[in-house]
Amino acid sequence: MIRKAIIPAAGLGTRFLPATKSIPKEMIPVVDKPAIQYIVEEAAASGIEDVLIITGRNKQTIEDHFDKAYELEDILEKRNKVGELATVRKPAGLCNIHFIRQQEAKGLGHAVLCAKSFVGDEPFAILLGDDLITGSKPCLKQMIDEKERLGGNILATMKVDDCDVDKYGIVDGKRYHERVIQVNEMVEKPALADAPSNQAIIGRYILDSAIFSILEGTEPGKGDEIQLTDAIKKLMDTQNVYAYEFIGKRYDTGNKLGYLKATVEFALNREEFREDFYTYLEELMGETL
C-alpha cells in the first residue's frame, strides 16, 4: 500500500516568466484551478492519505490554497452560495497536506531528500507539479496497481520525439510485458546521440525509502544539481526498477505552449464550456485560415 506522496514545488519557474516573478508556478490556474490542485486530486484519487508539498520562499499562497479561508467561507455561507462554498472547501479536504521548505534550490534530488523524515521507512510516491495527466484511471493509481503486481520501484514513462529526449530522464532495459520495461539504463537529459531510447520519465515515481540514503551520498550531476535520476540509477544496483508506460495524456504545464494546450483541452472537457468554446474555436480557425 502506498499511503504517502511528495510534491516538489520549490522551483523558481523560470520557464514561465514574468508570471512566476510573484506567483508560484504551481498556483497558475488551468481553466479555474491551480495546477497543483489537479496533482493533489490525482494523489487523493489514487488512495494517498498524506501529501507533503516541498515549497520554497515566496510560495505561501500554496499553503493558503490548501487551508481554510474563514472569512470567504463565512460570507459564502451567509449568502447561501452552496456550490462556491464546496469549491472553496475542496482543496483542504482532499487528504492530509503537510508542508516543508527547501532552503536552497539544489535540484530535484535535494528537494526529495527534504521528505526523508516525513516518509520514514515505507515506499512512497513522487508527483511533479508540471505534469498534468488525464485519463480514465489516475496515472498514480495505475502505477500503484503495477507496484502491487511487480514489487520494486515504478517510474511512469512515455515515448517522446527525438527532438525532446534532451529534456527528460531517458530509460531503457528489458521488455517485461506490453507496458513495462525492467530498467537497466538511465540517463538524465542526454543528447540525442547518447540517448539509449525514446522512453522518457514523466513526473510520477513510486520509490523505496532506500532512495534517501543514496541521495545523501549523491554528488551534483547534470546542471550542477543533485539529480533524482542519478540516485535511482544507483538504486538499480540493489532493487528492481520498472518503467511503466502509463495510459492517458500528459501535458507539460511548466512551458508556455504546453500550458496553452492544457488550458484549451481542459476547458473543452468541461461541460459548462464545451459547446460555446468549441464553436468559438471553430469560428476563430475559420477566420485565421
Would you tell me which residues interact with ligand G1P (CB under 6 A)? 108, 128, 130-131, 168-169, 188, 200-203, 228-229
Beta strands 199-207 and 153-159: pairing type? antiparallel
CB of 255 to ligand G1P, least distance (A): 9
CA distance 5 to 207: 10
**Cβ nearer to ligand G1P, comparing 51 with 187:** 187
Helix locations, 23-68, DSSP H: 35-45, 60-65
Of 4 and 189, the one with the shorter C-beta distance to ligand G1P is 189
Cβ-based nearer residue to ligand G1P, 180 or 202:
202
Integer Cα distance of 241 and 170 in angstroms: 13
C-alpha cell belonging to residue 14: 523560470
Q: At what angle do helices 139-150 and 35-45 cross, to 10 degrees?
A: 40
The residue (of 36 and 108) whose beta carbon lies closer to ligand G1P is 108
Minimum CB distance to ligand G1P, residue 139 (Å): 12
CB of 125 to ligand G1P, least distance (A): 14
What's the Cα-to-Cα distance from 46 to each of 12, 39, 143, rounded to whole Å? Answer: 28, 11, 9
Residue among 130 and 208 whose Cβ is closer to ligand G1P = 130
Q: Which is nearer to ligand G1P, 91 or 203 (CB)?
A: 203
CA distance 202 to 229: 12
Residue 225 in grid coordinates = 544539481
Cα–Cα nearest to 185, from 241, 244, 107, 129? 241
Helices 256-268 and 271-288: crossing angle, nearest 10°?
120
Closest separation between CB of residue 249 and ligand G1P, Å? 14
Q: How far is the CB of 204 from ligand G1P (least distance, A)?
A: 9
Cβ 63 to ligand G1P, closest distance in Å? 22
- Nearest approach, Cβ of 41 to ligand G1P (angstroms)? 19
With CA atoms as reference, report the closest residue to 7 among 98, 91, 95.
98
**CB-closest chain residue to ligand G1P:** 169
Beta strands in 78-213 (DSSP E): 96-101, 124-127, 131-134, 153-159, 169-177, 180-188, 199-207
Q: 65 or 250: whose CB is closer to ligand G1P?
A: 250
